[in-house]
Chain A
């Protein structure tokens, strides 16, 4: 019987690798067996190893690799390196000014201490359906770049997830950057989540990013977290809003119909029934806040 089955907080034994660059990291990953884990911030991996939930034989630290972090605006897109700390995104003025929804979401991740080590790449690759940063990034129509031993690819962030903790990443691949178009003038975003206390993982979350032209919704992305095995886009609700003015009637209709679009389970954080009800409240909050913002009353 392994001592680590008893949540002793003792880290199980592992081999530690600290590659100097991304090519070396991919090569190490390709040569190691499947039970290897990439370490970036470690705010999810280390507790899971201490609890004995994960027992990787090999840890590949990518934190020291140069050129994987930073935020820049280029060709009307915002590009964020995968190793960028959540706290740096939260404090970044480009993000605050141009992608407020991501600022709102990063502020709601863990504590200051967690945000100072956790990375956006880790928030994505953990593939938690509750990830705050992920919901906001999907709402911003983000793409991610993945690098492997020989090839590089770019995919839509929403296509990255296969289930809780599962992604399409092959074992030798590393997420390198996240990129999304700068929201056009007339765009508004809102991110909200429910948890017991502020540090909690989201029990239910909702991200709404939309663009209005002549007060009508021209395009919109709605993403909900913790209501399905992966972050969930609510296409039917998006279609319901297209070309409409945001009125109290529309908000009521969205709240009425939104529960049908989610597939929550009951778990330690909440029952499915609670989530069906709670999402209505979040929908009302998000759309009302966006309406207020668009009227310039905030």
Chain B
């Protein structure tokens, strides 16, 4: 089976009982996709599926056939992601870092569709990403700061 991973077509052996999360980590070595609760609660395994954030631990690998999967690795040169990353670092929004890839992808998806979000909208966008260090205040500040940096258009 073939799907698009970070801009490149890749083929893989679709084992139904293998989740997208395990496929990405074990077969493709993308350990930026974190395995937290493995039950769709914590958001550490967030990836973009056809551009939308999803929990990769809840998706069976054959279900991604023909789809587009993006992890933070695929957005390393992306201008919006660069601003977000800088804003996270400068605002102290990273503590242990385990939730950070998922937080970045959820925030990226928000700012891509809404360049001037309210604090409430930021909270809604990251409600599926749990930070065990409880650094939410800094994370929200970082996302709002990134929105200022990228400007209105």
Contact = CB atoms under 8 A, between A and B. Distances in A.
Given A87-B52, A198-B127, A199-B128, A43 B43 contact: no
B38 interface: yes
Contacts of A14: 16-17
Interface stretch (B53-61, B70-78, B81-89): B53-61
A18 B106 contact: no
Contacts of A42: 58-60, 63
Summarize A's interface: helix, strand, loop or mixed: loop
Contacts of A112: 53, 106, 109, 124-125, 127-128
Interface string B37-53: 01111010010010011
Nearest to A85: B52
Interface residues of B, number: 27
A288 interface: no
A47 B54 contact: no
Contacts of B46: 113
A169 interface: no
A171 interface: no
Size category of the A interface is 20 to 34
A11 B40 contact: no
Interface of B: 16-17, 19, 38-41, 43, 46, 49, 52-55, 57-60, 62-63, 106, 109, 124-125, 127-129
Interface of A: 9, 11-16, 18, 39, 41-43, 46-47, 50-51, 59, 61, 63-64, 87, 110-114, 116-117, 198-199
18 contacts: A11-B17, A18-B62, A41-B58, A43-B55, A43-B58, A47-B40, A47-B58, A61-B60, A87-B52, A111-B127, A111-B128, A112-B109, A113-B54, A113-B55, A113-B128, A114-B58, A116-B49, A199-B41
